[in-house]
Every structure is written in structure tokens, then in C-alpha cells.
Amino acid sequence: MPHNRKITILYVENDSALRGLVTGLLRKFSAVENVIDFATGEEALIYAQNFKANVALLDVSLGQGVLDGFATGTELRKLNSEMGIVLFSQNPLEAITELIDFKGLEAWSYVEKKADLNIEELVKILLTTSLGMSNRNWSIYKKDKIQGDGSNTNVLTPRQNMIMSLLSCGYEPKFIADKIEISVESVRKDLSTAYSVLIPVPEPGSDLRISAILKYQNLMGNLGLNEI
């Protein structure tokens, strides 16, 4: 474990009992300066606009109608490019990478929730991730279906996932564009691509937008990303 370094952890977990338990355990370590905990990603983002943390520990499943952990991490990184991101979930990483493309992400780590979780090991991962390292080799999770320009066609990019997450919360393209600071045209282009990933063969007469939202929510539900 790196010495003489103290970190501030931004912890997001919608299970209040687990959040209290993990927060208390993390605070016992001398390497941990402070743990600021929140129930939702939206609350964490408000905090991060004015205060800095070294690393974020994010539950992937944060409930329906709110940003998931991956989308929250993407937004936190925009506010603080040096913040490490550690995703925390009871689901195997392979299940999540079936939908989201992590290739090229730096200082992103993943820890699986389990009954015998080693808190000291978790602190080590938080420390190393805060220093810009990852505990996963994301390149091994890249997909096989590649277009001629080298882009993936069967997974969502981080920005497309963010846009679909916001769209699934009921937000319109104009709000999404303002939220993530891109043009409405770029949002619509990303949505078009996301729709083709989620619904490669639309049913005749179906509403593609609604079908894509329902498919996205279903996939997230199967991964445990939008459990209540």
C-alpha cells in the first residue's frame, strides 16, 4: 500500500445500511483522510462541483430514474480529470462489459461486492486508482464486432451510455445537451447510434425511441443496474 498518502473518498451507495457500514470501515484506515457518502450520483455531482475528492467508489446499481454508477463516474471525471473511479457491484464485470465499452479508460477500477470482501484490499485499490492506475486490463473486454473505421458496433460508448441513462430518466435531448455540454445535434447523432446498437432490427411500425429505452432499461435491470 502506498505510504504517506491520504485520500478523500467520494462514496455513492443507495443501500443506507451498507453505505454506513463501508463508510465506517474505510474511515478506520490511516490512509483515508475522509469519506463523503451519498445515496445518489446526482448528490455526488453537486458536491463535486465545489469540492475535490481523490477517488470515487460508486455502486453501479443506484435505483430507477437516477444516474447509474458508470454514468455518475463519467460525469465526475469531467469535473475532475484526476479523480480515480472505482465501480462497486455484486454483478460480474463480464456482464456489464456486454453493454458498455470500457476500452481506453484510465484510472477506472472494478471491485465485486461479496460477503467476504477484504476492506484492506479495497483501500489498496482506491489508493492505486487515485494515482491513475486500474486494477483491470480493459483491453481484454473489447468486442469482436468492429466496423471498418475501427469503432465498436455492438456496445455503447461511455457518452452514449450517459445519454441513454439520461433519456431513460425522462430527459429530452435539449436538456441532455446542456447537461453534458455538447450540441443537440451531437446528442441526436449519439442517440441514433445507440438505437442501432440496442435495436439492430426495428419491428415495423414500432417507435424506435421507446423500443430503445425499454431495451436499455431491460438490459440494465438484468445487470442489476436499476434495482430499487
pLDDT tens digits for 124-159?
Answer: 999 999 988 887 766 555 444 333 333 334 567 778
Mean pLDDT over 25-49 rounds to 94
C-alpha triplet 68, 183, 83: angle, nearest 5° = 40
Please count the structural domains in the chain: 2
Identity at 115, one-letter amino acid code: A
Instruction: Select from 106, 141, 176 the last residue of a domain.
Output: 141
Residues 123 and 28 in one domain: yes
Q: What CATH number is given to the structural domain containing 90?
A: 3.40.50.2300
Helices (H) and strands (E) in the chain — how many of each? 9, 5
Does some domain include residue 153?
A: no
106 shares its domain with 176: no
Question: Which range marks the domain in which residue 97 is found?
Answer: 7-141
Q: Diameter of the chain by CA atoms?
A: 62
Classify burial at 196, counting beta carbons within 10 Å of its beta carbon; exposed 0-12, middle 13-18, buried 19 or more.
middle
Closest to 23 in 3D by CA, of 93, 73, 88 = 88
Q: Is this model's pTM higher than 0.85 or not?
A: no
Over residues 79-99, the mean pLDDT reads 81
Whole-angstrom CA distances from 112 to 57, 108, 157, 217 are 12, 14, 22, 22
For range 193-201, the mean pLDDT: 85
Is 70 exceeded by the pLDDT of residue 224?
no
Q: What is the mean pLDDT of residues 44-69?
A: 89
On whether residue 189 sits in a domain, the answer given is yes
What is the distance in angstroms between the CA of the first residue and the CA of the last residue of the chain? 35
Banded model confidence at residue 200, pLDDT cuts 50, 70, 90: confident
- Asked whether residue 15 falls in the same domain as residue 81, the answer is yes
